């Protein structure tokens, strides 16, 4: 059997602001941006490289969803972004104004730093140790 997580929904306040952050600052690839209605778009992004998992940027549609934007996991790290070159990507992200809140530090599993996305969700940025 073969399974994988194809997409993860990420609540956002605004599609275009989210695209500008993830594509313009983090270097993600815009896979799809399809208008579904006057208020809804199907916006899919993914990190560069060989990634099978994508993010579906889902605009918060009601007050409950709006209250979760930026805090989908109660303040814990939400997503884990791996890289093949920590120094290159860390410096590029810092150059684009990405806010790092912890690290970088060497851990037993690799080099890691924690950054915030434009809404405050926490991400682990990791270059795993090769095995």
Residues 80 and 100 in one domain: yes
Structure token digits, residue 104:
């970088």
Q: Which of 21, 45, 69 is the last residue of a domain?
A: 69
Residues 61 and 97 in one domain: no
CATH number for the domain spanning 13: value is 3.10.180.10
Other Cβ atoms closer than 10 A to 13: 13
Question: Quick check: 103 pLDDT over 90?
Answer: no
Residues 76 and 61 in one domain: no
Mean pLDDT of 32-49: 94
Residues 99 and 57 in one domain: no
Residues 30 and 91 in one domain: no
- How many alpha carbons fall within 13 Å on the CB side of residue 89? 20
Residues 22 and 36 in one domain: yes
**Alpha-carbon gap, residue 90 to 124, rounded angstroms:** 12
**Alpha-carbon gap, residue 71 to 78, rounded angstroms:** 9
Please give the pLDDT value at position 69.
94
Question: Quick check: 131 pLDDT over 70?
Answer: no
**Alpha-carbon gap, residue 45 to 21, rounded angstroms:** 11
Residues 32 and 65 in one domain: yes
Residues 122 and 80 in one domain: yes
Residues 14 and 65 in one domain: yes
Q: What is the domain count for the chain?
A: 2
Please give the pLDDT value at position 118.
96
Tens digits of residue pLDDT in 62-100: 999 999 999 988 889 999 999 999 999 999 999 999 999
Average pLDDT, the chain: 94
**Alpha-carbon gap, residue 35 to 94, rounded angstroms:** 32
**Alpha-carbon gap, residue 52 to 8, rounded angstroms:** 11
Q: Which residue has the higher pLDDT, 124 or 2?
A: 124
Q: What is the dihedral of CA 15, 122, 62, 19, to 10 degrees?
A: 0
Q: Which of 21, 42, 69 is the last residue of a domain?
A: 69
Pairing verdict, β 41-46 and 29-35: antiparallel
Q: Quick check: 101 and 120 in contact, CB under 8 A?
A: no
Residues 52 and 79 in one domain: no
Mean pLDDT of 4-10: 92
Residues 44 and 102 in one domain: no
- What domain range includes position 83? 71-131
Residues 1 and 45 in one domain: yes
């Amino acid at each position: 059997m073969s399974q994988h997580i194809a997409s993860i929904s990420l609540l956002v306040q605004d599609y275009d602001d989210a695209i500008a952050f993830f594509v313009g600052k983090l270097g993600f690839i815009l896979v799809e941006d399809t208008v579904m209605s006057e208020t809804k778009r199907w916006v899919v992004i993914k990190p560069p490289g060989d990634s099978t998992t994508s993010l579906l940027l889902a605009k918060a549609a009601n007050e409950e969803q709006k209250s979760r934007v930026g805090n989908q996991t109660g303040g814990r790290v939400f997503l884990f972004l791996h890289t093949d070159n920590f120094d290159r990507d860390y410096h590029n992200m810092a150059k684009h104004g990405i806010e790092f809140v912890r690290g970088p530090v060497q851990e037993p599993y690799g080099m890691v730093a924690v950054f915030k996305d434009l809404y405050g969700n926490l991400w682990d940025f990791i270059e795993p140790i090769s095995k």
